[in-house]
Amino acid sequence: MDINEELSDSKIFEDDWETDPTEIEVPEEKPTVQESIQETLQTLDLFMNNKFQEALDLMEPWAHCSSYHALGKSTVCFIQTILSFDPDDINRSMEILKESVAVCNRLRRKGTLVYITRLLRGVDYNMYTTEEVHAELCYAECLLLTALLTFVADNSFVNFIKGGLRIRACYRAYKEAALILENRRWDDEEDRRHYESGVRMGLGIFYLVVAHLPTRIIRVLEMIGFCGDKETGLQYMYDSVALDGSLRSPLTALFLLCYNTIITYLFGLADGDLVSSEYIVKNMLQKYPRGALYLFLYGRLLEVKGEFDQSINLLLDSLTVQDKWRQMRNLGSWEVMWCYSFKFEWKNAQKYLDFLRKESRWSPAIYTYAYALTLYMQYLEEGRTDKGTIEEIHDLMK
């Protein structure tokens, strides 16, 4: 078997949960799809308003048998994990995502039947039940989150291939969802808006992620049939955000803001679209005025623009509106430190670096090194000659 055939054979990296034959035990009082969407909207509101545990608690009772509850639980855990990068959190979230993929897979229309029907006479998506339609989309979203977490967990070449094949499976599911969106007769316009926002969000993230993968990975992915496009991905995502009131609109806004204010600068992908981002974050803050995530991202946006005083105020607000999410406090403290450093206010910067080197497990070495640098800059600016400070700096650098 040559490399093309080997990579094209998805069974090499097939995941157990995708072929899990276990039937779901469905209680009689299980919520309908519409009720599940409403509860997921409530979960989203709780999460964006810093009530993180309450959001998880609302999803937990039905996560074993409802695609939207499974997706909601996984999404909350995924966002928390991405901000912590803690190995234990990554493993826990991966297990939750595997369970969610299995739940959605068992609720969607069976793939073999769809394939045979398409070959014989095409697919009539009006014959799908409402639950099957939405399970297809939730399945695609859970696969996408699983693929993204796979990239985060391990940056080895094999893991990139495995993540790429998971994205391939998720892309097929999203294409199926896009066909459903286009060809199904929708009796409820609100239902259609929720569905469309999910399709556009997923395809947008897919195109964007693939466009920014390492070149050698893109070459492999092109062998198995797909490629990414940055501009197409961004347009899909802006369209998803524009579907105001839909389930995925705030989540797409969150991803776009992270991309335009953090990811593009962190990985040197060119400048982000700060004009559109400022418009989006202001709209989100009207809906979630005390949302720590949006306060932080607006502060980060102003930091990138060089408006440090306003940025500090917003970042400090993001620290004070919640005290349960430790990783969020660490992230905000890191950005506040940079704002003070850009203003040459070394003493204020030291305060947050000292907090981080004592409280955060992300990289004590970097925090300690930066703390020593701010001590040295303060030492130079004040024209001091005492040996005690220099000795302290030397000790910190060891």
Residue 80 near residue 327, CB atoms below 8 Å:
yes
pTM above 0.85, yes or no: yes
Nearest to 249 by CA among 261, 234, 238, 235: 238
- What the block records as the tokens of 245 is 């009131």
pLDDT score, position 28? 58
HSE-CB for 131 with a 13 A CA cutoff:
17
**pLDDT value of residue 10:** 40
What is the model's pLDDT at position 25? 58
Q: Which pLDDT belongs to residue 3?
A: 35
Residue 213's pLDDT is 76
C-beta separation of 255 from 82 below 8 A? no
Tens-place pLDDT, residues 18-55: 555 455 555 557 899 999 999 999 999 999 999 999 99
CB neighbours of 55 closer than 8 A, spacing ≥ 6?
A: 43, 44, 46, 47, 72, 76
* Residue ranges of the chain with per-residue pLDDT less than 70: 1-28, 111-122, 154-161, 164, 221, 224-226
The first and second tokens of residue 127, run together, are: 């014959």
pLDDT for position 19: 52
What Å distances lie between residue 366 and 150, 247, 371, CA to CA? 25, 39, 8
- What CA–CA distance (Å, rounded) separates 14 from 8? 11
What is residue 46's predicted lDDT score, i.e. its pLDDT?
96
Q: How many C-beta atoms lie closer than 10 Å to residue 8's C-beta?
A: 15
How far is 144 from 256, CA to CA, in rounded Å?
16
> What is the structure's pLDDT at 15?
55
3-state helix/strand/coil string of the chain: CCHHHHHHCHHHHCCHHHHCCCCCCCCCCCCCHHHHHHHHHHHHHHHHCCCHHHHHHHHHHHCCCCHHHHHHHHHHHHHHHHHHCCHHHHHHHHHHHHHHHHHHHHHCCCHHHHHHHHHHHCCCHHHCCHHHHHHHHHHHHHHHHHHHHHHHHCCCHHHHHHHHHHHHHHHHHHHHHHHHHHHCCCCCHHHHHHHHHHHHHHHHHHHHHHHCCCHHHHHHHHHCCCCCCHHHHHHHHHHHHHCCCCCCHHHHHHHHHHHHHHHHHHCCCCCCCHHHHHHHHHHHHHHCCCCHHHHHHHHHHHHHHCCHHHHHHHHHHHHHCCCCCHHHHHHHHHHHHHHHHHCCCHHHHHHHHHHHHHHCCCCHHHHHHHHHHHHHHHHHHCCCCCHHHHHHHHHHHC
